[in-house]
Amino acid sequence: MTDTPKALSRQQQWRKRNPKSYLAHLAVCAALRHGVLERQPCAVCRDPKTEAHHPDYERPYEVVWLCRKHHKALHAAQKKGAA
């Protein structure tokens, strides 16, 4: 894929497609900043570098902490299951 300056970035495209997950993500960032939420190690492998996964985007503060690898794996599994 070639990136032109005019095209929306991947991140912007993702935001447009997933407004709820984007808002949930913002809520987590704010909660982390304010000390409401604390980043946890990966629930699977205890890797300290984690991303917040939302089982339910309607509940932005209910997150599962997963490293990039296990986060991707979970979404891949969900996609398969949902299809």
Applying CB under 5 A, the residues found at the interface with Zn ion are 42, 44-45, 47, 53, 67, 70
Which CB sits closer to Zn ion, 1 or 67?
A: 67
- Tokens found for residue 33: 């900043």
H-state helical runs in the chain: 10-17, 19-33, 68-82
- Select 3 or 83, whichever has its Cβ closest to Zn ion: 83
Nearer residue to Zn ion within complex by CB, 31 or 44: 44
Distance in Å, CB of 18 to Zn ion, minimum: 10
Question: Measuring CA to CA, which residue among 1, 21, 3 is closest to residue 71?
Answer: 21
